[in-house]
């Protein structure tokens, strides 16, 4: 669950956002949504690298208590990311273009494979690399209801276009909230068809810090077993 949601989330974080909806000029909600999308696009076009802390809260259908974990994410255009879970257990996910490595220190094992072939990644590769347009994979619309984000800014909903893609087969929608003024992503909520909801909340964002490639280069300790990841066909 953790790595699967991480892949989708970082794809959204790295995306060059574009507007994919249509509406009349008199529709205030759609106009607000268009404005938010333009601001997101402008912000992330100027972002060469990004570091942020995150808290992930996953509500699983049928279970009363949500599962919470936290960590830190590092992103560098094009196509580099490092996603570290730090609590309650350590897990590190490294991506370089189509190559992905998942390191679990507790198991002394690193799983290696291709992002496009691993269902656990659940990320459209072109978005993860920051080369694609968000509207190529999602229809974008204003979130329904009266709820708004911090500062009263309109929430945005992303609807997957390709229902058969491995990354979006069980995904119903993504709801995005931004920080006021900066328009960096503040929260991202991923809603599954099953009713499960994974929400990521970001803090301590540090853009354009000049992150070196060494942050994203994984070197396996000598006692770690390297295992080739199977090609997964299901969630």
For residue range 40-85, list pLDDT tens digits in order.
878 888 889 999 999 999 999 888 899 999 999 998 888 788 889 9
Q: What is the pLDDT of residues 83-115, one digit of tens each?
A: 899 999 999 989 887 788 889 999 999 988 877
Q: What is the pLDDT of residues 153-195, one digit of tens each?
A: 999 998 887 666 555 667 888 898 999 999 988 998 888 888 9
Give the predicted TM-score (pTM) of the model: 0.82
Tokens of 30: 């759609």
Domains, the chain, with CATH or none: 2-137+204-228 (2.50.20.10)
Q: What is the pLDDT of residues 119-156, one digit of tens each?
A: 444 433 344 444 335 666 778 899 988 889 999 999 99
Residue 18 has pLDDT above 70, yes or no: no
pLDDT attached to residue 86:
95
- Rounded CA-CA distance 122/65 in Å is 25
Residue 11 has pLDDT above 70, yes or no: no
- Rounded CA-CA distance 19/22 in Å is 9
């Amino acid at each position: 669950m953790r790595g699967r949601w991480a892949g989708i989330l970082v794809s959204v974080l790295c995306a060059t956002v574009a507007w994919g909806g249509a509406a009349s000029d008199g529709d205030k909600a759609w106009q607000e949504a268009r404005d938010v999308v333009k601001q997101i696009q402008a912000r992330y076009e100027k972002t060469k690298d990004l570091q942020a802390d995150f808290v992930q809260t996953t509500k699983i259908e049928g279970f009363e208590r949500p599962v919470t974990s936290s960590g830190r994410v590092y992103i560098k255009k094009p196509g580099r990311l490092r996603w570290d879970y730090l609590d309650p257990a350590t897990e590190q996910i490294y991506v370089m273009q189509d190559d992905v490595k998942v390191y679990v220190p507790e198991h002394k094992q690193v799983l290696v494979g291709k992002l496009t072939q691993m269902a656990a990644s659940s990320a459209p590769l072109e978005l993860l690399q920051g080369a694609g347009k968000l509207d190529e994979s999602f229809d974008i619309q204003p979130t329904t209801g009266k709820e708004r984000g911090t500062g009263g800014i309109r929430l945005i909903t992303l609807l997957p276009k390709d229902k058969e893609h491995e990354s979006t087969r069980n995904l119903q929608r993504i709801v995005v909230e931004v920080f006021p003024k900066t328009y960096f992503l503040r929260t991202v909520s991923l809603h599954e068809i099953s009713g499960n909801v994974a929400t990521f909340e970001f803090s301590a964002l540090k853009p354009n810090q000049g992150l070196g490639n060494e942050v994203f280069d994984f070197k396996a300790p000598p006692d770690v077993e390297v295992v080739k990841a199977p090609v997964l066909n299901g969630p």
